[in-house]
Structure 1
Amino acid sequence: MKTLKLIMAACLAASTLTTGAEVLPKPQTTGGMPLMDAMAARQSSRDIDPASIVTKQELSNMLWAAWGITHDGKRTIATAMNRQELILFVITATEVSRYNPEDNSLTVVKKGDYRELSARQDFAKTAPVNIALVVDTQKQERPEFQAYTAGAASHNIYLYCAQAGLKTVVRAMLDHEPLSQVLGLSSHERLLYVQTVGR
């Protein structure tokens, strides 16, 4: 049994090296601020310090809150008819990555600083993290359901940030076409919003 576990671990490591995915710390799915307190503390904040840092653990927790897997393949948010059409990208000063909820990892899709494309407001261009909320229109064709899914994920990011002492705001003012190209979106993947996070 021990040998089998070692082999499986080696295969997983090899897979990670092959795909170039960075496995994030295991999300902390218990504890934290009581839900009612987090809802009361939730707010949009734009006074984000460009020098502030969002840790890998915080990023892992935040992405899980927005689109993590809970039980029986279900997610932390509901989607109409369980279509699960959401795709998340993380935009930082050094790279753009796609979130893989199945193994809680990030796959780099583009190296470089593309934060300026994710925002028309100066504060977001220098924030440590911007999260792009994208939907797969082949999985969910109805725009109102797509918007609901992205909105639910955004709200969970708000709640996580409220209890973690982070600042955040969701935005629709961005350069959709050039950012979509950087994200490597296909014709059936639609960029809706970007959520800025920092301190």
Structure 2
Amino acid sequence: MRGMFKNALKVCVLAGALLPCWGAGEEVKTLPAPVMTGGMPLMEAIAQRHSARDYDTTRAIDDQTLADILWVAWGMNPQGKRTIPTSRNLQNMQLFVLTPTGTWEYDGPGHRLVKVNEKNLIPLCERQDFVKNAPLHLLYTIKNDRGGENHVGSAYQNVYLYCTSRGLSTVIRAMIDKEGLKREMSLPENHSVIVHQCIGWPAK
């Protein structure tokens, strides 16, 4: 493994699950350029899309796969547009990556991760046992309620289709401590936590 994930196998085992890890003290992480070609035909991905809750606890998400996941959810396409539509072009969604060593926000225009805090907020999403086994945790939030939940739905559907194409398992979840997450992330009053998405390679 390379880049931000090269030491994940050594240092990021939490509750038996292999989780993504980034070094403390580095506030910005540049991601590999997304791969915008290839993959499963769209109609096949739609036909095969499903939720899955069993993850391989010995296999991490490499940095290229992470970059692709974040890009399909909330990145910028070659035309300078978001990879998902937002009503009235509000773009009032935020996408975060939760790790044991901190919370990172995805900056779509810069295609990079910006560190928000050094807190492990994953336990606030663990109201179901299988969550502990997922190596990647995404959190979707919105600013005000003007269509934001619809935008989140577009984003996590893109992630579902990408995961189907790549052979990854994923599930979207609302059984999380939304108020606790909002408080620990110091989100403004007009921001809301919407859903959490687990991603990982299928259990063997």
Same topology, TM > 0.5 = yes
**Match of residue 84, structure 1, among 87, 91, 95:** 91
Indicate the residue corresponding to 2:170 in structure 1.
Answer: 168
Structure 1: 4+ residue segments shifted above 3 A: none
Stretches of structure 2 that go unaligned for 5 or more consecutive residues are 1-24
Name the SS for the 1:69 alignment partner: coil
Report the alpha carbon displacement of residue 26 of structure 1 after superposing the two structures with TM. 0.6
Indicate the residue corresponding to 1:97 in structure 2.
Answer: 104
Find the structure with the greater CA-based Rg: 1
More helix by share: 1
Name the SS for the 1:33 alignment partner: coil
**Match of residue 60, structure 2, among 53, 58, 72:** 53
- Contact 1:27/1:57, CA 8 A, preserved across alignment: yes
**Match of residue 69, structure 1, among 65, 76, 91:** 76
Deviation string for 1:78-104 (max 9, x for gaps)?
111111111000012332111011111
Q: How does 1:19-168 map to 2 (within 5 A)?
A: 20-137=27-144, 141-142=145-146, 145-168=147-170
Report the alpha carbon displacement of residue 40 of structure 1 after superposing the two structures with TM. 1.6
- Contact 2:28/2:112, CA 8 A, preserved across alignment: yes
- Contact 1:89/1:183, CA 8 A, preserved across alignment: no
Moved more, 106-115 or 128-137: 106-115
Deviation string for 1:92-144 (max 9, x for gaps)?
2332111011111111222243211123111113311110011111xxx43xx
Distance in 1 separating the partners of 2:40 and 2:186: 37
Indicate the residue corresponding to 1:3 in structure 2.
Answer: none
Report the alpha carbon displacement of residue 197 of structure 1 after superposing the two structures with TM. 0.4
Stretches of structure 1 that go unaligned for 5 or more consecutive residues are 1-17
Name the SS for the 1:109 alignment partner: strand
Aligned partner letter, 1:150 = V
Report the alpha carbon displacement of residue 162 of structure 1 after superposing the two structures with TM. 0.5
Deviation string for 1:21-64 (max 9, x for gaps)?
10011111111111111112211000113333111111110111
Q: TM-score, normalised by structure 2?
A: 0.81
Aligned residues: 177
- Contact 2:141/2:195, CA 8 A, preserved across alignment: yes
Distance in 1 separating the partners of 2:112 and 2:186: 18
Q: TM-score, normalised by structure 1?
A: 0.83
Distance in 2 separating the partners of 1:112 and 1:135: 20
Aligned partner letter, 1:117 = L
- Contact 2:54/2:133, CA 8 A, preserved across alignment: no
The RMSD of aligned alpha carbons is 1.7
**Match of residue 192, structure 2, among 185, 190, 193:** 190
